[in-house]
Structure 1
Amino acid sequence: MDAYLRRIGASRPRRADADALRELQLRHLQTVPFENLSIHLGEDIVLEEKALLAKIVEAGRGGFCYELNGAFAGLLRDLGFGVSLLQGRGFGDGGRLGIPYDHLALLVETADSTGPWLADVGFGDHCHYPLAFDERGDQEDPAGTFRIVEVPESGDLDVHRDGKPQFRLERRPRVLDDFRAGAWWHRTSPDSHFPRSVVCSRLTPEGRITLSGRKLVTTVRGERHEQPLADDAAVLAAYREHFGLVLDRLPSAPGRAT
């Protein structure tokens, strides 16, 4: 876990309080990329804490929600936070909900009794800081205005960003093994967006940087810049320079030979 803290550029907090949680989430988002490269490299996705830590800490990789929040949960528990795993379903086109166990988010209890908090380092472009789980009004964040809305008929919670629902959460705590079917579906189903395209993205102090296929997209203070990359060497260099990912071959996008 000390190596994990070094990976995200953080020191071990003196107390597992809300300020420490805010700093840890922000540092995680800025250092560990949201990426689906394992799907396109033919790598297994193993939802066990030891395997997740080996990938993110030892191999210096990123992952998607199950991996990122699964590993982050282990770090937070080691630091003295209380952590529960919550299953969510993302809202797609036309407001259609995704599959059960579509998303993994974290409910975090802190030592200063300010929580509980909804922490999330695995939803890609999302809030920078944890959200107050029991707050039903607007919550301002550098990424926008967030609101947690109760769903009357089920007791579930919808997380909104700037008035648009992002995902629906159940309140019942889960275990990491419960998410295996969701991870398998996202890895293999043609209905999932993950097998259809390669993406690697992380938050930066000025905005966000994303590598999708052969296109590098940087957003700096709201201004978007696109840079096409000429060849495989340039793409591999971009993974290394911007995300710290040292790859010996490119992930294979659909239609591209391995």
Structure 2
Amino acid sequence: MANDNRLDEYLKRIESSHPTNGCTEEYLNRLQVAHLTHIPFETFDLIDIKLLNISMDHRFDRLVRQNRGGVCFQMNGLFADMLKKLNYNVKIISCSVYNEEKHFYIEPPCHAALYVRLDNGKTFLCDVGFSNDFLTPLFFELDSIQYATNGFFRLTKTDDQLYYKIERGYLNTDDHISLPTSATPRTHIIDIDSSRIKWTLSYRFPIDFLERSTEIDDFQNVVSDVLYSPNVFLNHLTICHLHTYKPNVGAYSIVGKKYYEWIIENGKATRKDYPISDNEDELKTLLKEKFDLTIERKIELADNKQ
């Protein structure tokens, strides 16, 4: 791996070191956690100035040098760029997000995720751009229940066998489970009856995605949909989300005009809700203290779920 100034800048941004043993599973886990706990998913520009630039130079400048966050094309685009510099084998996946309010998958596809293959043949689904992400990469393994450090997930096929779909799971309220632990962050396959978990759809992607050649630039034709389509909630609902790993697994999150703090323990999430003051200075203090974001302009929070 040759010296690369952009890689150095990125690793400094996420407070991570260079790998010592090449492109391993352990380093991939550490890198995804570091990205998700240092670079927030945020939609401020989509809502008030209707701006979404997904070019390689812009996403690097924005997320690394300007200390901003972004949405999937920017976040997973940057992550893919850096993984390739580290000699990981990465493929961009074009995904259709499930709209829970209207009960359909949004078309055309407006989400990008990542498929990563290691030299030893192991394969993973990585995603640092979905807000409600799995904290550690998922094994690309069908029909297994995986605990990805911050929740339950599974990869299955749709009934018509045309797509893979990702679901997030929540342990039923009165249920208890003893989860495995590890010294370093990693996803575990869990032996549990799936009926003990309530599942919600995240997104789907074609079964034949490996036969397709997809780059982040290919999503330029859906940028206007992300900015203006009423089916895409990112353009009318403020979201700012940053995962936490130590000392607690959880997240800081602004959704609409409320601020939340999550703590996830033994498969269950607890949430504290806080109203956000109308005082602009207090909002910017919150952004700086919890998300390490500095945005100079006036910010308008939007909670129109349409």
Q: Deviation per CA, 1:164-194: give whole Å up to 9, x if none.
A: 3211012234111221122321112233211
Tell me how many residue pairs correspond in the alignment.
255
Please state how far the C-alpha of 1:253 moved relative to its aligned partner: 3.9
Which letter maps to 2:11? Answer: L
Q: Is the contact between residue 81 and residue 108 of structure 1 (CA under 8 Å) also seen in structure 2?
A: yes
Cα distance in 2 for partners of 1:148, 1:142 equals 16
Match of 2:272 in 1: 225
Match of 2:243 in 1: 203
Q: Does 1:108 align with 2:151?
A: no
Cα 1:235/1:255, change in 2 over 3 Å: same
Q: TM-score, normalised by structure 1?
A: 0.91
Deviates more, 1:131-140 or 1:65-74: 131-140
Which of 175, 194, 207 is equivalent to 2:234?
194
Please state how far the C-alpha of 1:251 moved relative to its aligned partner: 2.5
Cα 1:253/1:189, change in 2 over 3 Å: farther
Which letter maps to 1:10? Answer: S
Cα distance in 1 for partners of 2:127, 2:73 equals 11
Match of 1:183 in 2: 223
Cα distance in 2 for partners of 1:154, 1:100 equals 19
Please state how far the C-alpha of 1:254 moved relative to its aligned partner: 5.1
Which of 187, 191, 200 is equivalent to 1:164?
200
Q: Does 1:64 align with 2:54?
A: no
Identity between Structure 1 and Structure 2 (%): 25
Q: Deviation per CA, 1:84-108: give whole Å up to 9, x if none.
A: 1001111123641112222100011
Match of 1:33 in 2: 40
* Secondary structure, counterpart of 2:235 in structure 1: coil
* Secondary structure, counterpart of 1:6 in structure 2: helix
Q: Does 1:81 align with 2:88?
A: yes
Deviates more, 1:3-12 or 1:149-158: 149-158
Cα distance in 1 for partners of 2:254, 2:147 equals 28
Cα distance in 2 for partners of 1:226, 1:255 equals 15
Q: Is the contact between residue 91 and residue 98 of structure 1 (CA under 8 Å) also seen in structure 2?
A: yes
Match of 2:178 in 1: none
Cα distance in 2 for partners of 1:124, 1:254 equals 17
* Secondary structure, counterpart of 1:31 in structure 2: coil
Q: Does 1:13 align with 2:7?
A: no
Match of 2:148 in 1: 141
Cα distance in 2 for partners of 1:114, 1:20 equals 16
Cα distance in 1 for partners of 2:203, 2:124 equals 16
Q: Is the contact between residue 263 and residue 270 of structure 2 (CA under 8 Å) also seen in structure 1?
A: yes
Match of 2:187 in 1: none
Q: Is the contact between residue 137 and residue 148 of structure 2 (CA under 8 Å) also seen in structure 1?
A: no
Q: Which runs of 4+ in 1 moved over 6 A?
A: none
Q: Does 1:244 align with 2:292?
A: yes
Greater C-alpha radius of gyration: 2
Match of 2:172 in 1: none
Question: Over aligned residues, Cα RMSD in angstroms?
Answer: 2.0
Q: TM-score, normalised by structure 2?
A: 0.78
Q: Is the contact between residue 257 and residue 301 of structure 2 (CA under 8 Å) also seen in structure 1?
A: no
Cα distance in 2 for partners of 1:75, 1:52 equals 12
Q: 1:36-55 residue pairs with structure 2 within 5 A?
A: 36-42=43-49, 44-55=51-62
